[in-house]
Structure 1
Amino acid sequence: MKTKLLFLLSFFAFILSFSQIKITGKVSYKNKGISEVNVTLKDTYDGATTDKDGNFSFETSEKGNHILTYSHSKYIGVEKDVNISNEDLNINTELKEQVNEIDAVIITVGSIEASDKNRSAIISPLDVYTTAGADAQISSYVTYLPGVQKVGETEGLFIRGGTGSEAKIFMDGSLINNYFSNSVPGIAGRDRFNTSLFKGNVFSSGGYSALYGQALSGALMLESVDFPDQSSYDFGISPIFLNASLQKVNDEKTFSYGVSAGYSNLKLMQEVLNFNTDFNEAPSGFNGDLNFRFKTKSGGMFKYYGMFNNDVMGVKTASLEPDSQYFLVDLKGKNTFHNLSFKQKFGKYLLNVGASYSFNRSDLNFSSETNNIKSSPTRLLTDGNYLNFKTVLERKINRRVTARGGFELNQAHEELSIEEVRKDYKDLISSAFLETDIAFSNRFSAKAGARAEYSSYLKESNFAPRFALAYRLDKDWTTSFAYGIFYQNPESRYINSGAKLDFQQSQHYIFQVQRTVEGRNLRLEAFYKKYNDLIKVQNIANIPGQYQPVQTAVNNLGNGFAKGVELFWRDKKTIKNIDYWISYSYLDSERNFLNYPTTLKPGFASEHTVSVVAKRFFPKLKFQTNLSFNYAKGRPYYDIVTENGANMIRNEGSLKDYSSLNLSFNYLPSIGKKDAKAFTVFVLSVSNVLGRKNMYGYNFSNDGNFRSAVVPPVNTFVFVGAFISFGVDKTQDAINNNL
């Protein structure tokens, strides 16, 4: 019996082995084998996984018609009909790459870091607050990135050889016409907007999307917080300001509102520190804002933000003229801004609608003083009203293609008066745009778009095509190229004549190579910008003290170029608990515009700039120390005057090099009960620790024989402050985001 049983078992085993059919093959993509592909007979347990060369092999006892399936997360699944008889099968298959947002190469040309969600550089509020020397201002933080010049005597973002007015700032897609506070000549205005209002800030130093216009150089796109986590109360106190705010959220988390108010005054710090600027009235001001957000039942979101502030300042400087001892300028300004936005998905479509209104008044009075007797003031009064409306409709056609388009209206009405000069400027810029993102594969993607504008004042229209390409060289290395044409109206402050003017134009060519791995980012970028139709001006009135000549545009015959290379390296992983970055920019730029008598290197452009930022966090101590360093090669300066209707250079030269070492310390103590929801930060910040005497330029006397340096209001500034939030404990988030 044992012998018969063994025989039967051997016989059945032989029959089974004889009936097994071997299925082999190779799975490839563009003739290269793919590993880790699951190959199975549908509705059976038979199958295998491909090896490193894409080969697979398995046996089956199935017979007849079946379906062979191929699956891999990065490739489109395939099913093949097979007929299994008594012979082995060899089946080779070619797969197509599956494009997805996580693995697809993204276009980062002109930006610093890649984000799978937004496909651009993201600047977090915490990054801004913890960068020494940034003064909690987004615009100051951006100067630590490559391509942005540190220009201290006037506000604005000076990007790659462009003026401060050639870069624009947007909030939730809407243009902010007066992002900076009113200022006096030689002292830059500060950011009007609280950094914590925004959840992410996208900075483009060139080649930006067709959704944005009226900027020759770059764009800073600010996106406000969608919805607060929960109700909270916040307080901030320091020797120069006091503010408080509250944010309330309903239990269903469908509606929230918030208000804030603050007061600032530099008088106390002026008494403590040795200021270079003699403020006969210390800078001070009130500010307040209101916000609300609510979600619709269909998943939409309304957001409103409104703010107001006023500015008061008086500056007294030694006069360069023999007929007076001092030159005085007094400022009284006020501003209001309102922004309403709506976002809603309708099936495959995403609708974004935004509208904003702003009003700004700058009231400057210039006078001289001799033996405590003031002259009659010269008043420069400027009022501006601005309206913006924008709508964008986006549709994701498939995994590979996304299209978006819309239109925008920008209306400006400005009135200026100084002595006999009057100006009443009105303009409506109507714009339409269309753009598409195409992912040809996970290695290759493109963005193409165009923008068209019409100006009611210029009575001219333009058409601006833009495109960008990105290719992944390997897992960590990508390369990008961007080209675009950008238009901008002449600045309204130069318009006061019957001259026939047109749009100013720039063309951007940008090439980038970037390596990104976890916690590390290396970027090399080269660019070339060509300027056409820039504004040329002549002086028509002089304000006493030669601070700010009033000029008028005469034609669009200006031109110029800017070219350079940039390096950016950021590392969060090599040294434990240390985040640092290094940026370097080389800029070669020349222009013949405004009152330049010939082609010159712009007075706002430095040839070499270097920035170093380092942050060290001590998690157990809840303590952070930050260091930053800025260096810029000395900029050129010019004393340009108008004689016999022609502009000429009377004095010129180069400033000494600029450098500043800054330190800040942040401490997050535990206050109150252990389980209390509270977040506290104590801040100590010292700007220009070494007390270097930097300078931004010169003012010249009317005859050109005397000059005085334009310098920062103070060489070394010390800031001490405390920020307390009740209702939301952000301590752990602060710790995690700094590691």
Structure 2
Amino acid sequence: MKIKLLFLVTFLSFALNMAQTKISGRVTYKNKGVAEVNVTLKDTYDGATTDINGNFSFETSEKGNKTLLFSHPKYIEVEKQILVDNQEISVNAELKEQINEIDAVVVSAGSIEASDKKRATALLTPIDIYTTAGADGQISSALNYLPGVQKVGETEGLFIRGGTGTESKIFMDGSLINNYFSNSVPGIAGRDRFNTSLFKGNVFSSGGYSSLYGQALSGALMLESVDLPDQSSYDFGVSPIFLNAGFQRLTESKNSSFGASLGYSNLKLMQDVFNFNTDFSEAPESFNGDFNFRIKTKAGGFFKYYGMYDSNRLGVKTESLEPEEYDWSLVQLKGKNTYHNLSFKQKFGKYLLNAGTSYSFNRSDLNFSTEKDDVENGKTKLLTDGNYINFKTVLERKVNKISALRGGFELNGTSEKLSFNEFVQKHYKDLISSAFVETDLGFSNHLSAKIGVRAEYSSYLEKSNIAPRLALAYRFAKDWTTSFAYGIFYQNPESRYINVPVDLDFQKAHHYIFQVQRTSEGRSLRFEAFYKKYDDLIKVKNLSFIDGQNQYVQTADNNNGYGFAKGLELFWRDKKTFENIDYWISYSYLDSKRDFMNYPVSLKPNFASEHTLSAVAKRFIPKWKTGFNLSYTYAKGRPYYDIATQDVNGEQQYFVRHEGRLKDYNALNFSVNYLPNLGKNDAKAFTVLVLSVSNVLGSKNVYGYNFSMDGSRNSAVVPPVNTFVFIGAFISFGVDKTQNAINNNL
């Protein structure tokens, strides 16, 4: 009997110890249930996963003091101490968001970034630019297919949201690039001086940009150059209009590289084949060369250097609008330019140092002459030599995973000598000193802010300014974010209009930008509204003289100009819906008026189109290793003005003598790129054959009109050629980029 009783007590004790205890509760974030949260007893296999409402329930045979663990990739882990006995346990947990760089919302009002890996749809990568029909491999041309950029073909520059081409600035590795475009003559736009393949990424801002950058009323393009190559390579390119070759050499240690390239172009052959609108007395010709090196230090620092030189020349002959004085006029250009950029990046503990300097020299030698009955009767010479130096340093510290503080200073020096027919002789000097500070504040994965301020002092103006900047971003749904940006932006008056002593101030602009964006895998939708207010824009007057004919230069007179620009923009890109097809559509509406330069009253600028629509489509066929690309641009006709002067009570006054609207701009472009297999299958070579046709339909677009001195005659400003065909081959030896090119097209 004692043995049976002992067995019964032991059995009951074991049964009680094996009894299951129920643990249940609810997991929430901001009072809303969270699904897919793992709830476990630490160091055991017991647990459960929350349902759609955040509820969980499980049973355990464990006893005593235990730790209940709540985990989810998007939230910070939570631990709860509990006592497990024979009674049911109810435990609730409130989660806190896990802040990380991948999930954090990004401030994007007014900007498009191609190097940010967090974005599902990157824009303006090198492969984007090379495969956009009509872009001609130029970064600035590819930007014309994005919202906010106006299609202006008669002069170089980025015309952004009602701003002139000089109101946007371009930077390389943080340093300003002066004279990004080649020298040219009136009515013909200069080309990009820099090879697209030099850059691995970029940020294009059409407004509200960072306080790290200044001296741009409208927008900024920040380019980031490539790092060390994967391996050594040799490149060769040939076409009827150019020939170039280059190399990149990676050292055995793989910690440094160097490279160089040479190029020559001449439009003479194409001028003989095509019916050009422009009568080139001397076909456009250019020569360029560059050298670069990259060094990665043992301490983790990184040096980059890039230096280039180019020269170009051309001559244009036009029929005179003053036939009683001369039959035709001739303008000849000789241009030279050199640019050097050195940058350094190094991490020191919690701090990241970015420092860079650049130097450039630019010479533009323009000669104007006129002739009647082949007898020369007048000459004008405009010679400009410019030296430009920029130094900038930025120190940054990460506060946490998505917050940072950065600050620094910048020096931008200019020394220009100008000679205009012995009448105007000037030496313009200015040193702009700048200091800036900026912080990224990540309040959560759904809310972030960028707050900054920039201060500048101009030695020429002898004035200073302070420009605050603010941007906010909020994710209000899974793939939807909204952003707002505000800022004040200053810019010196253009030096080419400063020909006599005058008291001037900074030109000023206020930016207000609101954006809604939806980004998912392979798709991007952006809607943006903006308003810009301009103050203190320069007004000019004619500085006249007689030298065989009536001649004058425009010179700055005061800062009484003003204006505004407002509009709506829409952008849609889709790389997912259709197999092997990438397409995007952009639309811009712009309402703008200005009273600046020689405008007698507030007018719609002659470089601003009210409606602009662009569409780009790319179809890549992997089996053929061939890509077919189309692009189309429509722009409502821009206004044009014939602004003349009259004497009123001894005072020079401007008035609009003729005005009208240009015909609407239309251009359909096509290109095809083929990646053939050359040599043996294991040969490391990459070849691209390119055929492109600009303005396939031959639309006769007009950029503006030139008027005679009395306004009785005019001539249209048109593209040098209506339809242009380009054929070229590009070969790289030492590295096979074929698969990368295919992947980037899908």
Q: What band does the TM-score fall into relative to the shorter chain? A: over 0.9
What letter corresponds to residue 432 of structure 2 in structure 1? I
Aligned counterpart in structure 2 of residue 722 of structure 1, from 723, 729, 744? 729
Contact 1:538/1:642 (<8 A) preserved: no
Distance 1:250 1:5, change over 3 A: farther
Report what 2:191 is aligned to. 190
CA shift for structure 1 position 399: 2.4
Report what 2:627 is aligned to. 624
Alignment of 1:338-417 (within 5 A): 338-417=340-419
Q: Any idea what SS the aligned residue of 2:601 has?
A: coil
Deviations 1:533-570, CA, capped at 9 Å, x for gaps: 10011111479999995211111110000000011111
Report what 2:642 is aligned to. 639
Distance 1:145 1:549, change over 3 A: farther
Alignment of 1:67-86 (within 5 A): 67-86=67-86
Q: Any idea what SS the aligned residue of 1:733 has?
A: helix
Report what 2:682 is aligned to. 675
CA shift for structure 1 position 42: 2.5
Alignment of 1:433-512 (within 5 A): 433-512=436-515
What letter corresponds to residue 62 of structure 1 in structure 2? E
Alignment of 1:222-371 (within 5 A): 222-321=223-322, 322-371=324-373
Instruction: Confirm whether residue 423 of structure 1 aligns to residue 448 of structure 2.
Output: no
Unaligned runs of 5+ in 2: none
- TM-score norm. by structure 2 comes to 0.96
Report what 1:585 is aligned to. 588
| Percent identical residues | 72
Deviations 1:301-331, CA, capped at 9 Å, x for gaps: 1000000000100000000102111011000
Deviations 1:123-155, CA, capped at 9 Å, x for gaps: 211110100000110000000001100100000
CA distance in 2, matches of 1:546, 1:208: 46
CA shift for structure 1 position 573: 1.1
Contact 1:200/1:224 (<8 A) preserved: yes
CA distance in 1, matches of 2:724, 2:547: 30
Aligned counterpart in structure 2 of residue 706 of structure 1, from 705, 713, 720? 713
What letter corresponds to residue 720 of structure 1 in structure 2? I
Report what 1:594 is aligned to. 597
Alignment of 1:68-107 (within 5 A): 68-107=68-107
Contact 1:319/1:325 (<8 A) preserved: yes
CA distance in 2, matches of 1:547, 1:482: 48
What letter corresponds to residue 29 of structure 2 in structure 1? Y
CA shift for structure 1 position 59: 2.5
Report what 1:610 is aligned to. 613
CA shift for structure 1 position 58: 2.4
Runs of 4+ in structure 1 over 6 Å off: 3-10, 118-121, 542-548
Deviations 1:434-493, CA, capped at 9 Å, x for gaps: 111111111111111111111111111111111111111211111111111111000001
CA distance in 2, matches of 1:264, 1:545: 37
Contact 2:124/2:142 (<8 A) preserved: no
Instruction: Confirm whether residue 110 of structure 1 aligns to residue 110 of structure 2.
Output: yes
What letter corresponds to residue 50 of structure 1 in structure 2? T
CA shift for structure 1 position 48: 2.3
CA distance in 2, matches of 1:547, 1:55: 87
How many residues align structurally? 736
CA distance in 1, matches of 2:723, 2:548: 27
Q: Any idea what SS the aligned residue of 1:179 has?
A: coil
CA distance in 1, matches of 2:435, 2:47: 55
Distance 1:184 1:115, change over 3 A: closer
RMSD of the TM alignment (CA)? Answer: 2.1
What letter corresponds to residue 343 of structure 1 in structure 2? K
Report what 2:206 is aligned to. 205
49-58 or 604-613: which moved more? 49-58
CA shift for structure 1 position 113: 5.9
Contact 2:544/2:551 (<8 A) preserved: no
CA shift for structure 1 position 9: 11
What letter corresponds to residue 87 of structure 1 in structure 2? Q
CA distance in 2, matches of 1:270, 1:73: 63
Q: Any idea what SS the aligned residue of 1:680 has?
A: strand
CA shift for structure 1 position 5: 14
CA shift for structure 1 position 86: 3.8
CA shift for structure 1 position 81: 2.5
Unaligned runs of 5+ in 1: none
Deviations 1:678-707, CA, capped at 9 Å, x for gaps: 000111100011111111001111111000
Aligned counterpart in structure 2 of residue 736 of structure 1, from 726, 737, 743? 743
CA distance in 1, matches of 2:701, 2:332: 25
Contact 1:367/1:544 (<8 A) preserved: no
78-87 or 495-504: which moved more? 78-87
CA shift for structure 1 position 618: 0.6
Alignment of 1:6-45 (within 5 A): 11=12, 14-18=15-19, 20-45=20-45
CA distance in 2, matches of 1:376, 1:596: 29
- TM-score norm. by structure 1 comes to 0.97
Contact 1:102/1:116 (<8 A) preserved: no
CA distance in 1, matches of 2:408, 2:79: 41
CA distance in 2, matches of 1:545, 1:249: 60
CA distance in 2, matches of 1:543, 1:738: 59
CA distance in 2, matches of 1:62, 1:9: 19
Distance 1:544 1:629, change over 3 A: farther
Q: Any idea what SS the aligned residue of 1:159 has?
A: coil
Contact 1:104/1:442 (<8 A) preserved: yes
Aligned counterpart in structure 2 of residue 558 of structure 1, from 531, 555, 561? 561
Distance 1:603 1:548, change over 3 A: farther
CA distance in 2, matches of 1:642, 1:503: 27
Q: Any idea what SS the aligned residue of 2:155 has?
A: coil
310-319 or 92-101: which moved more? 92-101
CA shift for structure 1 position 8: 9.6
CA distance in 1, matches of 2:118, 2:598: 41
Distance 1:605 1:44, change over 3 A: same
Distance 1:400 1:690, change over 3 A: closer
What letter corresponds to residue 490 of structure 1 in structure 2? P
Q: Any idea what SS the aligned residue of 1:158 has?
A: coil
CA distance in 2, matches of 1:136, 1:683: 11
